[in-house]
Structures are given as structure tokens and as C-alpha cells.
Amino acid sequence: MPLPKAELHLHIEGTLEPELAFTLAHRNGITLPHPTVQDLRAAYSFTDLQSFLNLYYELMDVLRTEADFTDLANAYLTRAAAQGVRHAEIFFDPQAHTSRGIPLDTVVNGLAAALDTSLRDHGISTALILCFLRDRPASEALHTLHQARPHLHRISAVGLDSAEVGHPPQNFTAVFAAARDLGLRCVAHAGEEGPPSYIWQALNLLHAERIDHGIRALEDPDLLAHLARTQTPLTVCPLSNVRLRAVPTLAQHPLPALLDAGLLVTVNSDDPSYFGGYVHDNYEALRTHLGLDEATLRQLARNSFTASFLPPERKKALI
């Protein structure tokens, strides 16, 4: 049985499996540019983050109705339960939908229909994290935050994702301050492709409580010491890093070095449909390619609950 764990870095749009994409395309009368599931899977060969994002944004055009978002989330939760997930903090990208005419209400209500019954149906508690697209203007992010106000009771935190290099966290300082004023927690992707200075900005300017990816922290000893002292969690995604060539091979993945430096490391799947595995598959890859032992894998699973936004009682019950 897979270890019980929390998943803290998971883009719901990145769980869209080719089979479901074709089902939704058919339901919505859309013709995909790839004629078969096999052709689509063959396109899953990436050279960097941007090459992945191009396909990620293209394929989510099949998501049109509340039912589409509900089906997407239910498909993920079914797979996650089989991977040992007991709690999932799920990213979604509102601007990727509103920019193509899908109302935010459709997205949130559709996802919520699956998340609201997840504990009962799948044994998984959930939280939603609204991500801002960092390669679009901060003014648009602020507008998105405003649009989300009727849904804030369903949203735990804000995050920052999409193309990293050239789009530093400092551009979103005011947006994150506004989110904190609304009572939202803060996380941010930083140090996936971008430099350690982006991680410092996420911590000092956005007040991010977790760093998503963060693997380039290894290049800055002062930053490593800071992350270890504050026990700021990193949500590391090994299969993603290899598929997007942030790391050459799994055997060379820096996760063991981050653990050795005393950081609170967690293991996550990022966009599992695109990167060849769900969260348990990431744990197994660490065992197979890096030789992580059972005790270390158990520690990583415990870390995932520690690093979550769960209330202390549920954390205690799960650890």
C-alpha cells in the first residue's frame, strides 16, 4: 500500500489525461489538433517549462462547463486515493480560463462539486489554491483576486505559476499583500528555472509560506541556511524537474542534498498527466533512482502533512 501522504503541489489542469481530453472535446464539439490519444501522448516531449506550458494551455481549451471541471477533479481524486493521498491542496489557474471566456464561477463551482464530496467519496480532504499567472500583468492578477471574492470561503491560499524567468515575484508584491488582507495564505513557485534571488523575493516580498519547487536554493548557501532555520517547506516535484529538464536525470536530482541541508522537503507530482506519474510514482522514482530508504520516504510523507495548511488536530491525526 502506498504511504499516506498529502499532495501540496498539484495543478488540477495538469491532471487532464489524454483520454479525458478527447471525451471532453467530443462532448463540447471541439476538434483537437492531435487526431488520436497516441498522437497526443507523443507530443508530451518537453525541452523546458515553456514548451510544456504551450501544450498545457492549448489542451485546457476542452474545459468549458462546470461538469467538465467536476469530471476533471473527480478523475484526479480517484487516482490520488489509489496513490495514498489523504489531503490535497490543489492549484488552479483562473486566468487560463477567464481569458478564453470561461467565467470564474464555472471553474470554481465545477471544481467545488467534486471537492465538497471528496472526503466522503475518496477519503481525501482538500483545499484550493488560486494561482496567478506571472507572465501576465499584475493588474490582471489583482482583477482576478477581485473576481474571486464571492468564492473566498472555498479558497485557502494564492500561488504564483507559469513562465518563471523574466517574471520575478517582486512584480506581484501588491497583489499578494491584497490577498493576505483578505485572509488568504501565500505560496509561490520560485527557483524551478529562476535564480535563488526569486526565492528570496517570494519569501521577503510575497511572504510565501511555502516555496513551490525551490530546487535552485542549492546555489545559495545563505538561502539554504535560512530555509533550514525557518523550516519553510519546499514542494519538490522530481518527475516534473526531469521532464522539463530543470534536472538532467532522476539520479542527479538535488532532493537528497536539500534533505541533507536540513530543509523541510515534500514530494509532489505537479502536472502528473504530462510528467509520467502521480505522487506515489514520484516517491517510487526516488526509491528506484536515488536509493532513498523506507525511513526517508516515511519522513517525506510526514513532512507533507507538517507542511500542509491543515488545522493542527487533523494534522496530528494524519501524521
**26 to 55, contacts with ligand HPA by CB under 6 A?**
49
Output the CA torsion 21→24→28→29 (10° steps). Answer: 60
Q: Compose the 225-244 pattern: x for residues touching ligand HPA by CB under 6 A, - for all others.
A: ---------------x----
Is residue 189 part of the contact set for ligand HPA (CB under 6 A)? Answer: yes
Q: Compose the 268-287 pattern: x for residues touching ligand HPA by CB under 6 A, - for all others.
A: --xx----------------
**256 to 285, contacts with Zn ion by CB under 5 A?**
270
Is residue 192 part of the contact set for ligand HPA (CB under 6 A)? Answer: yes
Q: Output DSSP code: residue 100.
A: T
**Active-site choice (13, 164, 192, 193):** 192
> Would you say 171 or 296 has its CB closer to ligand HPA?
171
Instruction: Name the minimum Å distance from CB 213 to ligand HPA.
Output: 7
* Dihedral sign of CA atoms 306, 308, 313, 314 in order: negative
> 131 with 91: CB under 8 angstroms?
yes
Is residue 66 part of the contact set for Zn ion (CB under 5 A)? Answer: no
Is residue 89 part of the contact set for Zn ion (CB under 5 A)? Answer: no
Q: Which does 162 bind (CB under 5 to 8 A by kind): Zn ion, ligand HPA, none?
A: ligand HPA
> Would you say 161 or 318 has its CB closer to ligand HPA?
161
Q: What does the alpha-carbon distance between residue 104 and residue 122 come to, in Å, rounded to a whole number?
A: 25
> 154 with 126: CB under 8 angstroms?
no
> Would you say 7 or 192 has its CB closer to ligand HPA?
192
The grid cell for 187 is: 505560496
Query: Is there a binding annotation on residue 270?
Result: yes
Taking alpha carbons only, the member of 111, 88, 119, 93 closest to residue 268 is: 88
Number of neighbouring beta carbons within 10 Å of residue 260: 9
Is residue 89 part of the contact set for ligand HPA (CB under 6 A)? Answer: no
Is residue 68 part of the contact set for ligand HPA (CB under 6 A)? Answer: no
Q: What does the alpha-carbon distance between residue 236 and residue 212 come to, in Å, rounded to a whole number?
A: 7
Q: What does the alpha-carbon distance between residue 278 and residue 70 come to, in Å, rounded to a whole number?
A: 19
Q: At 129, give phi and psi (nearest 5°).
A: -120, 115
Instruction: Name the minimum Å distance from CB 11 to ligand HPA.
Output: 4
The three-state secondary structure class of 229 is helix
Give counts: helices (H), strands (E), the chain.
17, 8
Q: Is 192 a catalytic residue?
A: yes
Which residue is at the shortest CB distance from Zn ion? 270
Is residue 161 part of the contact set for ligand HPA (CB under 6 A)? Answer: yes
Residue numbers at the binding site for Zn ion (CB under 5 A): 270
Residue numbers at the binding site for ligand HPA (CB under 6 A): 11, 14, 49, 56, 161-162, 189, 192, 240, 270-271
